[in-house]
Structure 1
Amino acid sequence: MDGSVTLAYDYPVLGVFWTTMWIFLWIMWFFLLFRVISDIFRDHDLNGWGKAAWLVFVLILPFLGVLVYIIARGKKMGRRELQQVQEQQEAMDEYIRRTAGKSGTSEVDQLAKLSEIRARGDISEEEFQQAKARILQ
């Protein structure tokens, strides 16, 4: 062979740690960059020109732009994230309420089951009337 081959034992443990750390930091940097960019678009307080200016600043000078954005608008960034999560939770709860209401048993079905139970003799006439009143409320 005319080239050198790097074997696993030629790469020191500290070198592996250093490489792993740099990969981790780059991944964290991209997460932060995308979170800042998504926060720029999510912010309803900024007008179009403000969003465009922040976006250009973050894309042209990414390290400085993200640092300045975090310093200037970081506190509200967390509030906007919390507000979005709460809105999504409320929308999901409303969807579940609507869907469960449509797929539930109707009053007619409940009354039919109740009269079957009364016909078998499992409940008395008084219990039947009480349950019927609860269903029809």
Structure 2
Amino acid sequence: MIATSLAGDYPLLDLFWTMAEIFLWILWIFLLVRVIDDIFRDDSLGGGAKAAWAIVVVLLPFLGIFIYLIVRGRGMGERSAKVAQKREEQFRSYVRDAADDGGASHADQLAKLAELRGRGDLTEQEYQQAKAKVLA
């Protein structure tokens, strides 16, 4: 039995072509997930419009994604920024509520605020406001 080398049967150019195909496949999956995520997070679309876009994207995968990006692509960034801003506001509100612990002493509250500021969870302005509230 003669051992054959896989490298001899698979030239370098074929390897590069296979890598390019895998990259494009992963890119397409990423775009598909991003577009479907945007479709279902968009509050301005009704249920029928969401269903229609989902059907177009799923049944006509490449063409559907390109059509969606052309028609609604600009709004994707704006909607994503709104979601990120809303999450940031919720996080900051949670941090402020956590820092406003009524049962702890003033020294404990100030220490907790200083720790939050040191980690970057509070801005200097938020720190000063919370500090004034604790000392009041």
TM-score between both structures, scaled by the size of structure 1: 0.72
CA distance in 2, matches of 1:89, 1:97: 12
Identity of paired residues, percent? Answer: 50
Q: Per the alignment, do residues 98 and 11 of structure 1 end up closer, same or farther by CA in structure 2, a change over 3 Å counting?
A: same
Q: Deviations over 1:5-44 (max 9, x none)?
A: 5522432221111111110100000000010000000111
Please report the RMSD computed on the Cα atoms of aligned residues, expressed in angstroms: 2.7
User: What is the aligned length?
Assistant: 113
The answer for the alignment partner of 1:33 in structure 2 is: 32
1:20-99 mapped onto 2 (5 Å cutoff): 20-99=19-98
| Structure 1: unaligned runs, 5 residues or longer | 111-133
Q: Per the alignment, do residues 91 and 41 of structure 1 end up closer, same or farther by CA in structure 2, a change over 3 Å counting?
A: same
User: Which structure would you say has the larger Rg?
Assistant: 1
CA distance in 2, matches of 1:135, 1:81: 36
TM-score between both structures, scaled by the size of structure 2: 0.72
Tell me the amino acid that sits aligned with residue 65 of structure 1: G
Q: Deviations over 1:28-86 (max 9, x none)?
A: 00000010000000111111111111111111111111111000000001100111111
The answer for the alignment partner of 2:11 in structure 1 is: 12
